[in-house]
Structure 1
Amino acid sequence: MKDGLSDSAPLWFGSIRTIVPGLLLILLLPLLKKSMTPPPMRFVLPLALLQTTGFVGFTMLALEEGAVGATAILVFTMPIWLTLMAHTFLHERLTKRHWLAILVAAVGLFLMIAPWQTHLALAASLFALLSGIAWAGGSLWQKKYGPLYQLDMINITAWQMLFGGFFLLASAMLLEDYRMNWTPHFAWVVFYNLIPVGAVGWLMWFYVLHNLPTKVAGFGSLLIPTIGVLAAWIQLGEEPDTFEFLGILFILTALVMILWPTKLFKPPTA
């Protein structure tokens, strides 16, 4: 996404990468013999505002203001917010192990951010955190109210992307000057963000959210910035420093604590 900002204003880029995938998925619905009727507005509009407008919009603004790596890690504080929201609003009970895992993950994220050596602008930090909170809020809304309507996953994904994209477009028209420089590189970046990241990525996330407990789905996404750091090391030679290594270890430890069967953490009975 950062690549696209050299040729486009952030909210304009965010709107195109959500409206077009939403339209494509809606056009796909009849081919899959699924209904094109939008979900109830009282359900889909809050979801669109949180999951698409808030998450994508704040992410694009954070990337415009700051570095990619630290921004991504701050956005992916989402699992911590989501787990706490699920505990409060969905009454998903958290054991002492879960609370400890949240603490361990928070320490890991702090080490990966390394605020004492990362020159991330305050505005970028705030936008990235708001993005993670909006993503968590949208996921909570989908988890809490989605089952009440028994809607098709592709239908929900398509319409929330479309409506959220229109909210982004309105924000872009109000807050930014139009800027899109259609170079071959920008066209490739747009395509990549439309299909693999936009349409397919959101479908996969809603599938995971629908089929797994909230805390498992949320904490599983922490693998994304971790894999990103490791992939940059393998592919680009960007070797993680000591704090990033320690952060990865803390995050993986937190994942094990969340995902491992509970009975393995119980002391043996006589």
Structure 2
Amino acid sequence: MLVLLGIVWGLNWPAVKVSLSGISPWTLRAIGLGAAACTLFLLAIVQRRTLRISLVRDRWHVFFAGLLNIALFNILLTFAQLGAATSRVAIITYSMPLWATLLARIVLGERLNVMRWIGLALGAAGLIILIYPLIGNGLPHGILLALAAALTWAVGTVHMKWARIAAEPLAIAAWQLLVGALVALTGLLAFEGMPHLAHLSSKVLFALTYHIFFGMTLGYVLWFEIIARLPAGAAALGTLLVPVVGVSSAVLLLGEHPSVADVMGFTIVFCAAICVLLPAGAYSVTKWRTLICSRPAE
């Protein structure tokens, strides 16, 4: 299931890029997040899992985390793909574990072992290699949006760990997705009005169908089955297959041609993410599960 999830979420990167050639970012996110939210609520009902979040304090924390982890992350990422190559956006987005590690040190006081310091150094080097060649011609706004998306995801993750919400992980994720879907729907109605999907090309329609039913719906069902069966640390490391498939599929399906700097940057950022995600003694299973359950889409 973990391998299948890596393929499903990895292929979702080019699916989003193709979908954006025929529909707006707001429409894409409203439909995709809405479908994912409905899926998790239905899954909770079928499994007779509670969706209740009892404390008012926790409800506000879930709302805030939903804005960061789901709404802002997905919206920023969608606009990023309009302004930069999908492979570069995928690489930069998966620098998130580096930012989360640094923020956890500052906000939560979590200690950094040697491996995590190495990961932070490698991550900084990888991002410099990726970004430096682009500065001469003006840094594409898509790169800045991808960095903002990674930071938003990191802040939301650290906030979830700090808040210690007393509720089931499935309920927390479902309500966060609902918040993201409502934000995307509000943006859609405010900036564009009702979407028109009647005249989509077969290519765009296929990509949109994949995004809704596989990238979002099946992806989240698989994810919660995985974290119920595997140790949280193993599940976290397993998601590193996603950017590998994402970058590879962008090359094969979208015809993108990463430069030498892109390949070097990807390799270094990937190694950096492994360094900071490797379980350490200071990280309990409970903390890792909190980190996992705040994972957004794509």
Question: Is TM-score (shorter-chain normalized) higher than 0.5?
Answer: yes
Question: Which consecutive unaligned segments of at least 5 residues does structure 2 have?
Answer: 1-15, 282-298
Rounded Cα–Cα distance in structure 1 between residues aligned with 2:189 and 2:254: 37
The more displaced of 114-123 and 79-88 is 114-123
% identical equivalent positions: 25
Residue 66 of structure 1 pairs with residue 84 of structure 2: yes
The one-character-per-residue Cα deviations of 1:178-224 (angstroms, maximum 9, x if unpaired) are 5443434334323322233224445638949x9349xx94x875554
In the other structure, the counterpart of 2:153 is: 135
In the other structure, the counterpart of 1:266 is: none
Rounded Cα–Cα distance in structure 2 between residues aligned with 1:169 and 1:193: 17
**1:8-87 alignment runs, 5 A limit:** 8-37=23-52, 40-87=58-105
- Residues 120 and 97 from structure 1, CA distance in 2 versus in 1: closer, same or farther, beyond 3 angstroms? same
Rounded Cα–Cα distance in structure 1 between residues aligned with 2:41 and 2:256: 40
Is the Cα–Cα contact under 8 Å of residues 153 and 207 in structure 1 kept in the other structure?
no
**1:54-203 alignment runs, 5 A limit:** 54-113=72-131, 115-116=133-134, 122-146=140-164, 148-149=165-166, 151-176=167-192, 178-182=194-198, 183=200, 184-202=202-220
Is the Cα–Cα contact under 8 Å of residues 4 and 190 in structure 1 kept in the other structure?
yes
Larger radius of gyration: 1
TM-score by length of 2: 0.71
Residue 225 of structure 1 pairs with residue 243 of structure 2: yes
Shift of 1:8: 1.0
- Residues 227 and 191 from structure 1, CA distance in 2 versus in 1: closer, same or farther, beyond 3 angstroms? closer
- Residues 112 and 141 from structure 1, CA distance in 2 versus in 1: closer, same or farther, beyond 3 angstroms? same
The one-character-per-residue Cα deviations of 1:82-118 (angstroms, maximum 9, x if unpaired) are 1111111222211344223211122123334553489
- Give the counterpart of 1:5 among 6, 12, 20: 20
Shift of 1:256: 5.4
Shift of 1:46: 0.6
Is the Cα–Cα contact under 8 Å of residues 30 and 185 in structure 2 kept in the other structure?
yes
- Residues 262 and 143 from structure 1, CA distance in 2 versus in 1: closer, same or farther, beyond 3 angstroms? closer
Rounded Cα–Cα distance in structure 1 between residues aligned with 2:115 and 2:227: 26
Rounded Cα–Cα distance in structure 1 between residues aligned with 2:63 and 2:136: 36
TM-score by length of 1: 0.78
Is the Cα–Cα contact under 8 Å of residues 37 and 174 in structure 2 kept in the other structure?
yes
Rounded Cα–Cα distance in structure 2 between residues aligned with 1:196 and 1:251: 27
- Residues 189 and 247 from structure 1, CA distance in 2 versus in 1: closer, same or farther, beyond 3 angstroms? same
